[in-house]
């Protein structure tokens, strides 16, 4: 069990590590050779030029201006200077609202920390209950609720603070929800024209024996949305073609590498082996080999491209349908299209760069099966991850280590080594075990069949949060307290075990303190150093880069990583809210995280990250919901904890809090969430009217024509390489159809799923 000395050693190690990262960053970012690594966003915007173009040879690589090194912390105030409106214009609303999550943490926990240390710490400290307890403890635990004797009236202070913390948290969340909702509405109102504002994704298009998918979509929307339908783009199963394009790009990179190698040493032709990773197989001329491979792939690509265009089976029952106005798109996206609610399903289309094309070709009927399989796999992943978590907790238990490896006992008993093991090792071990988890969860989300990158990240974030709650939070508490108090459990009656657990749970705050310092202090400092992108950029720049375009691709600034970063932030909300009334000593460590991370990520968003998509803060309801969940969990755990401390009479008083919090969440959900999932028709009409007045002759059809074509159909120099065939004229009044039932009888097609009038009625109506 970690003591104050152990926590102090861990703090020294992590603070020194964070300072080392910050100093390394301050030095490396000033070097001209690293400019594209630490300021890639400005290069992508065309607002920055490489400082290595001019001057002496040395100045192209090293900054010789000594005065610039004196301002090594200037990036911190610079990161805070940009106003929020300018930040939204520069980086988008998603990035700006993401930063507000850190501000919410500061707003919630700064007053809570002051109150907790003013009221609860003196109440806890001025007791001696742990002195006469069989539970193993340290001096830190005397600041926790465990130090209050059973049945004490001092628990009134904790009850009162629980109410204060709850109402303050709800007030901050309500205020913030309203601010973000207004930011979203202003952003959508001021945003320039985008294809997704006029487009709807249609899925489960029912088959028709007489018409292709494209003809069926055109006919359906000309009939049912005659005044608003503009054009459509059917969805092709181009996954195989996408793999060929990706493989060709890979081969081209190798060809560029070997050609550059040959240019540097023309006396010797480079060679490679044809087997796995170029390590096995026959040795061949590398340049000729990769040229032949590229030619082979190009031939396969051309065949696959032609097959996709001509084969009706390559068209999946989905389409992007565009309308003449935002109002028309909003009506279609937010209404039921037929009397059969299982076909012609419509939803807002993601913006083109947000579309996850691989999942559009998945049959809709298989999605339920896929989600069931993923749910089962996720359950077992949670279940089996308890094993490494228990191992991490065993690191904090010196007795367990000494029994497992008795020959290390003399070494472990050295005070510095002992403090290192208890104060630093568990946190870093847990961090290592969680490294691969976001990639695994993202793969699971992709298997589920979601059609946009933003929805994939939100779903993956949800899984990650559930995983963190059960495996990092609950499993650490249960496994850790069981390992630490095993001797107490073995020497007391079964009736006393719940009370022992109740006393031991607050003491796990020391483990979470070590984790916060590793992940939230040193980890955040490591984020700004960007060591991995730095190494990768210089390797690519040395071996592969030949043109400015190659250099831009080598920069790869990446994005925020909402799927992994946001759940980690939520862990700090959970820990802070749970331990605020239990072990307030944890709160300052969390406050430092929120403040430091806010500055670091603001700098990264301004200078580094290039967000893949813009969802206009569609993730905020999930953020709000997870903080509310953490608040309710903290209330329930406090209720259970007090029941083990002989304060059962407080149960009715505490039961009010989860109920009030739940209804507060319902109010926020009903009041604000529609702003994040629907488009108000009034706002859509207002923007349409303004746009028609300002640009009366704008060619909207030409603008939308190829917006939702699969990227593999677009050439580098010719975005019109693939276009919609047989596009109807905008002024067409006849609803062309090949369906025999429409030609011969007014009875609706049994495949169509609609009660639309027959063709003669439509023609007569449109001629009036």
Name the domain boundary from 350, 379, 405: 350
Tokens matching residue 7? 């926590």
Nearest to 724 by CA among 353, 196, 236: 236
Inter-residue contact 344 to 220 (CB < 8 Å): yes
Residue 754: inside a domain = no
Residues 554 and 618 placed together within one structural domain of the fold? yes
Taking the C-alpha atoms of residue 199 and residue 330, their distance in angstroms, rounded to an integer, is 9
Query: Which runs of consecutive H residues, i.e. helices, occur in 116-211?
Result: 121-125, 155-190
Closest C-alpha among 432, 434, 376, 433 to residue 564 = 434
Q: Which residues of the chain have pLDDT under 70?
A: 1-3, 52-60, 128-139, 276-279, 390-413, 415-416, 418-427, 478-505, 507, 544, 546-549, 648, 715-768
Helix 562-579 / helix 437-448 crossing angle, nearest 10 deg = 120
**CA–CA distance, 395 with 418 (Å, rounded to integer):** 11
For residue 23, is it within any domain? yes
Secondary element (H or E) of residue 346: strand 345-348
What gap in Å lies between CA 418 and CA 396, rounded to an integer? Answer: 10
Strands 283-285 and 271-273: antiparallel
Q: φ, ψ for residue 567 (rounded to 5)? A: -60, -35
Pick from 40, 77, 156: nearest CA to 642:
156
By residue count, the chain amounts to 768
Same domain, 295 and 345: yes
Percent helix, strand and coil across the chain, each to the nearest 5: 70, 5, 25
Residues 181 and 214 in one domain: no
Helices and strands (H and E) in the chain: how many: 37, 6
Q: Which residue has the tokens 């917006």?
A: 707
Does residue 345 lie in a domain region? yes
Domain contains 718: no
Q: What range defines the domain where residue 624 resides?
A: 4-192+365-677
Question: Do 343 and 388 fall into the same domain?
Answer: no
- On whether both 561 and 672 belong to a single domain, the answer is yes
The pLDDT assigned to 134 comes to: 56
Alpha carbons 354 and 454: distance in angstroms, whole number: 7
Chain-centroid distance of CA 757 in Å reads 46
What confidence tens digit (pLDDT) does each residue in 404-416 have? 566 666 666 676 6
In a domain, 741, yes or no: no
Give the CA diameter of the chain: 98
Could you tell me if 312 and 201 lie in one domain? yes
Give pLDDT, residue 278: 62
pLDDT tens digit sequence for 538-587: 888 877 676 666 777 778 788 888 988 999 999 999 999 999 998 899 99
Asked if the structure places residue 606 within a domain, the reply is yes
* Domain match, 342 and 371 both: no
Q: Which helix (H) or strand (E) holds 315?
A: strand 315-323
Give a yes or no: residue 708 inside a domain: no
**What span, in angstroms and rounded, lies between the C-alpha atoms of 653 and 628?**
19
Number of compact structural domains in the chain: 2
Contact 180, 336 (CB under 8 A): no
Residue 710 belongs to some domain of the structure: no
Question: Are 231 and 703 spatial neighbours (Cβ–Cβ below 8 Å)?
Answer: no
Radius of gyration of the chain measured on its C-alpha atoms? 31
Looking at residue 309, its pLDDT comes to 81
Q: Domain check: are 167 and 278 in the same one? A: no
The CA distance from 202 to 399, in Å, is 61
Phi, psi of 231 (to 5 degrees): -160, 175
Cβ–Cβ < 8 Å for 484, 1: yes
316 lies in the same domain as 379: no
Q: Tell me: do 232 and 166 sit in the same domain.
A: no
Same domain, 390 and 434: yes
Residue of 567, 550, 548, 564 whose CA lies nearest to 623: 567
Question: Residue 238: phi, psi to the nearest 5?
Answer: -110, 25
Query: Both 186 and 201 in a single domain?
Result: no
Q: Which residue has the tokens 């940009």?
A: 82
Q: How far apart are CA 190 and CA 614, in angstroms?
A: 14
Q: What is the pLDDT of residue 480?
A: 57
The answer to whether 390 and 479 have CB atoms below 8 angstroms apart is: yes
Which of 350, 383, 416 is at the close of a domain? 350
1 CB burial (10 A radius; 0-12, 13-18, 19+): buried
Q: Are 146 and 506 a contacting pair, CB within 8 Å?
A: yes
What is the pTM (predicted TM-score) of this model? 0.84
Query: In the listed set 623, 654, 677, which residue is the last one of a domain according to the structure?
Result: 677
> d(Cα 232, Cα 212) in Å, to the nearest integer?
13
- Report how far residue 445's alpha carbon sits from residue 563's, in angstroms, rounded to the nearest whole number: 10
Residues 722/707, Cβ–Cβ less than 8 Å: no
* pLDDT at residue number 378: 93
């Amino acid at each position: 069990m970690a003591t104050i000395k152990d926590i102090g050693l861990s703090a020294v190690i992590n603070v020194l590590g964070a300072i080392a990262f910050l100093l390394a960053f301050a030095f490396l970012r000033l070097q001209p050779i690293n400019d594209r690594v630490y300021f890639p966003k400005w290069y992508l915007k065309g607002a920055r030029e490489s400082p290595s173009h001019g001057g002496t040879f040395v100045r192209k690589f090293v900054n010789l201006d000594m005065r610039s090194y004196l301002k090594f912390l200037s990036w911190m105030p610079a990161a805070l200077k940009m106003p929020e409106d300018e930040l939204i214009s520069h980086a988008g609303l998603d990035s700006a609202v993401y930063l507000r999550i850190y501000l919410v943490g500061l707003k919630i926990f700064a007053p809570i920390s002051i109150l907790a240390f003013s009221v609860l710490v003196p109440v806890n400290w001025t007791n001696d209950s742990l002195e006469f307890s069989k539970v193993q403890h340290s001096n830190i635990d005397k600041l926790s609720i465990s130090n209050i004797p059973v049945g004490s009236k001092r628990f009134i202070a904790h009850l009162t603070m629980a109410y204060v913390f709850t109402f303050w948290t709800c007030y901050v969340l309500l205020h913030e929800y309203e601010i973000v909702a207004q930011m979203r509405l202003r952003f959508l109102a001021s945003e320039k024209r985008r294809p997704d504002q006029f487009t709807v994704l249609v899925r489960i298009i029912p088959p028709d024996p007489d018409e292709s998918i494209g003809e069926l979509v055109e006919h359906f929307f000309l009939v049912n949305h005659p005044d608003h339908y503009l054009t459509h783009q059917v969805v092709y199963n181009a996954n195989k073609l996408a793999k060929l394009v990706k493989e060709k790009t890979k081969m081209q990179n190798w060809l560029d590498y070997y050609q550059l190698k040959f240019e540097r040493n023309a006396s010797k032709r480079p060679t490679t082996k044809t087997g796995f990773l170029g390590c096995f197989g026959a040795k061949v001329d590398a340049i000729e080999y990769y040229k032949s491979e590229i030619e082979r792939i190009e031939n396969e690509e051309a065949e696959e491209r032609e097959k996709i265009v001509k084969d009706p089976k390559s068209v999946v029952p989905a389409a992007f349908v565009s309308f003449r106005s935002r109002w028309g798109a909003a009506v279609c996206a937010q209404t039921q299209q037929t009397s059969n609610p299982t076909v012609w399903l419509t939803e807002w289309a993601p913006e083109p760069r947000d579309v996850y094309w691989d999942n559009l070709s998945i049959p809709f009927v298989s999605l339920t099966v896929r989600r069931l399989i993923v749910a089962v796999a996720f359950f077992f992943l949670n279940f089996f991850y308890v094993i490494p978590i228990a191992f991490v907790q065993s690191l904090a238990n010196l007795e367990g280590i000494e029994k497992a490896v008795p020959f290390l006992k003399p070494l472990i008993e050295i005070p510095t080594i002992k403090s290192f093991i208890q104060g630093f090792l568990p946190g870093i071990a847990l961090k290592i075990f969680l490294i691969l988890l976001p990639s695994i969860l993202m793969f699971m989300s992709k298997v589920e069949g979601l059609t946009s990158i933003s929805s994939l990240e939100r779903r993956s974030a949800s899984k990650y949060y559930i995983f963190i709650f059960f495996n990092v939070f609950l499993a650490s508490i249960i496994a850790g307290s069981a390992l630490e108090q095993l001797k107490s459990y073995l020497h007391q009656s079964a009736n006393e075990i719940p009370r022992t657990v109740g006393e031991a749970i607050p003491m796990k705050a020391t483990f979470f303190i070590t984790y916060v310092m590793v992940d939230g202090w040193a980890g955040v400092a490591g984020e700004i150093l960007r060591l991995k992108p730095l190494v990768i950029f210089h390797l690519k720049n040395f071996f592969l880069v030949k043109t400015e375009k190659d250099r831009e691709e080598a920069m790869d600034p990446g994005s925020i990583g909402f799927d992994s970063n946001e759940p980690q932030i939520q862990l700090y909300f959970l820990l802070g809210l749970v331990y605020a009334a239990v072990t307030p000593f944890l709160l300052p460590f969390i406050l430092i995280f929120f403040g430091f991370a806010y500055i670091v990520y603001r700098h990264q968003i301004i200078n580094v990250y290039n967000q893949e998509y813009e969802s206009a803060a569609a993730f905020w309801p999930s953020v709000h919901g997870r903080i509310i969940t953490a608040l309710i969990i903290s209330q329930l755990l406090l209720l259970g904890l007090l029941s083990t401390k002989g304060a059962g009479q407080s149960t009715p008083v505490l039961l009010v809090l989860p109920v009030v919090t739940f209804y507060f969440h319902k109010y926020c959900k009903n009041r604000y969430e529609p702003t994040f999932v629907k488009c108000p028709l009034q706002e859509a009409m207002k923007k349409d009217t303004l746009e028609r007045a300002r640009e009366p002759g704008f060619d909207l059809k030409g603008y939308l024509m190829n917006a939702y074509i699969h990227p593999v159909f677009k050439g580098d120099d010719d975005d019109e390489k693939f276009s919609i065939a047989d596009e109807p004229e905008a002024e067409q009044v006849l609803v062309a159809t090949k369906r025999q039932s429409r030609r011969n009888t007014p009875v609706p097609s049994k495949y169509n799923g609609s009660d639309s009038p027959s063709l003669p009625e439509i023609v007569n109506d449109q001629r009036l």
